[in-house]
């Protein structure tokens, strides 16, 4: 009997449902642009035309164009992340789908998207292929997010309006603090500034990178951990889950991710044929770099309400660390919706404090919003 033809069992190329990929991309582009419109209206109040009767924000072509300053960078960051995975799969001839973008509720402080993903439809049997596929996405997304974060920092404008109650704040990861030092010469609190929409796109890009690098289950971090440690990755299962549960006492969203890791992705990882074969030295160095990216992108309390914050104090220079938070104005009138019980003088920034905020190399300028 003649041996079977190997081509008989080859995986036939799939006919991709490109219409679905395009439809999801357009829907996500729409939801993220609408979030960008809200951010742009807060950044430059002159773009915001609010109906005095309904209180609704009027959508103008100029405002839509400004909203693209958020949606386009964010989609490029997500696309770079998923293309990193996809191209690595193609390199190893693994059957994988093009990226699926997921639209989400388009209202600040939500990002307008639930991210993107690809489907790897072939089992990965080689540790080298698994590692390269896992790390390509986070590295690509992180690198693309850096210039948008720098641009957003450079174009940040000062804000001397009093803070309002119920304002949503965003914690800054370490990478943002380092970029502030590099491009502004100092760190500053967002209580004194209004961030550019491109900055928020980069912020979400770093946040997505940090989430994907959680070293558990089927996340990118879980794949990387398994590729580096092999069967010893089991030693990290419960400590990682316990860390997420512990972080949940500071930010309840981590409990959601602990549930996702436990229920949806699982703590076990599919085995590969060379499970006990160590990675080569170059890939071990790449793994160390990915760990550094995870540390730079991670923030323990990413989002919180102003009611959870201590009383406002101006940032200090010197050895102290400034807590970085973002004041999201829901409209040009937002800072005045709630009057500060301490009076405006309690939140007035002294001229000498303003000069320290701006700095010798600082790109921030006091005064009206940029044209």
Contact 369, 45 (CB under 8 A): yes
Closest by CA position to 327, among listed 304, 353, 360: 304
Most confident of 43-57, 112-126, 253-267: 112-126
Residue 188 lies in a domain: yes
In a domain, residue 129? The reply is: yes
The answer as to whether 92 is a domain residue is no
Spatial CB neighbours of 129, under 8 Å, sequence gap ≥ 6: 88, 92, 94
Q: Which residue from 315, 302, 99 is spatially nearest to 203, judged by alpha carbons?
A: 302
Label residue 19 by pLDDT band (50, 70, 90): very high
Domain count, the chain: 1
Query: What is the pLDDT, as a whole number, of residue 275?
Result: 83
Exposure b/e, 140-159, CB count within 10 A at least 16 = b:
bbbebbeebbbbbbbbbbbb
- 235 or 149, which is more confident: 149
DSSP for 80-133, written as a single string: HHHHHHHHHHHHTT--BPPPEEEE---STTS-SEEEEE--B-S----HHHHHHH
Confidence label for 160 from pLDDT (cuts 50, 70 and 90): confident
Q: Average pLDDT, stretch 92-108?
A: 94
What average pLDDT score do residues 258-275 get? 80
Range scoring the smallest mean pLDDT among 73-77, 144-148, 200-204, 316-320: 316-320
pLDDT score, position 261: 82
Question: What does the alpha-carbon distance between residue 95 and residue 124 come to, in Å, rounded to a whole number?
Answer: 10
Tell me the per-residue pLDDT of 65-97, one tens digit each, with 9 for 90 and over.
999 999 999 999 999 999 999 999 999 999 999
Rounded (10°) angle between helices 220-229 and 281-297: 150
Domain encompassing residue 178? 73-78+121-313+325-358
Residue 66, in any domain of the structure: no
pLDDT score of 55: 63
Three-state secondary structure of 72-87: HHHHHHHHHHHHHHHH
Q: Is residue 177 part of a domain?
A: yes
Using one digit for the tens of pLDDT, what is the confidence trace for 175-221?
A: 999 999 999 888 877 777 788 999 999 999 999 999 999 998 889 99
- Confirm whether 13 is domain-assigned: no
CA–CA dist 215, 70 (Å, integer): 29
Q: Is the pLDDT of residue 316 over 90?
A: no
Quote the Cα angle for 230-231-232, to 5°: 90
The answer to whether residue 197 is domain-embedded is yes
Q: What is the DSSP string of 262-297?
A: IIII-S-----TTTTSPPPHHHHHHHHHHHHHHHHH
Q: Look at the pTM and tell me if it is higher than 0.95.
A: no
For the stretch 327-353, pLDDT in tens is 343 333 443 333 444 444 444 444 444
When pLDDT is averaged across residues 128-138 and rounded to a whole number, the result is 95
């Amino acid at each position: 009997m003649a041996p079977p033809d190997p081509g008989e069992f080859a995986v036939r190329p799939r006919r991709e449902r490109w219409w679905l990929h395009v439809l999801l991309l357009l829907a996500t582009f729409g939801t993220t642009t609408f979030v960008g419109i809200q951010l742009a209206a807060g950044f430059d109040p002159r773009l915001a035309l609010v109906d005095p009767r309904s209180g609704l924000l009027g959508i103008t072509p100029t405002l839509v164009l400004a909203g693209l300053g958020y949606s386009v960078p964010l989609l490029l960051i997500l696309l770079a992340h998923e293309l990193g995975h996809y191209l690595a799969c193609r390199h190893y001839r693994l059957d994988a789908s093009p990226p699926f973008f997921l639209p989400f509720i388009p209202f600040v402080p939500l990002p307008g998207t639930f991210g993107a993903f690809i489907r790897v439809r072939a089992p990965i049997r080689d540790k080298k292929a698994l590692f390269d596929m896992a790390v390509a996405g986070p590295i690509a997304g992180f690198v693309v997010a850096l210039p948008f974060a720098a641009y957003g920092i450079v174009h940040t404008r000062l804000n001397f309006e009093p803070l309002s109650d119920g304002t949503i704040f965003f914690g800054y990861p370490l990478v943002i603090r380092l970029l502030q030092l590099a491009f502004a010469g100092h760190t500053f609190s967002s209580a004194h500034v209004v961030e550019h929409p491109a900055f928020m796109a980069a912020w979400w890009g770093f946040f997505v990178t940090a989430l994907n690098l959680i070293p558990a289950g089927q996340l990118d971090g879980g794949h990387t951990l398994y590729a580096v440690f092999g069967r010893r990755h089991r030693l990290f299962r419960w400590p990682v889950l316990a860390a997420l549960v512990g972080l949940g006492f500071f930010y309840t969203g981590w409990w959601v991710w602990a549930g996702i890791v436990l229920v949806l992705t699982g703590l076990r990882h599919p085995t590969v044929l060379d499970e006990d074969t160590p990675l080569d030295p170059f890939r071990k160095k790449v793994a160390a770099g990915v760990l550094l990216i995870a540390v730079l992108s991670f923030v323990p309390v990413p989002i919180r309400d102003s009611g959870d914050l201590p009383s406002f104090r101006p940032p200090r220079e010197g050895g102290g660390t400034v807590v970085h938070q973002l004041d999201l104005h829901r409209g040009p009138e937002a800072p005045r919706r709630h009057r500060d019980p301490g009076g405006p003088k309690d939140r007035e920034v002294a001229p000498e404090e303003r000069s320290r905020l701006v700095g010798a190399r600082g790109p921030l300028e006091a005064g009206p919003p940029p044209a």
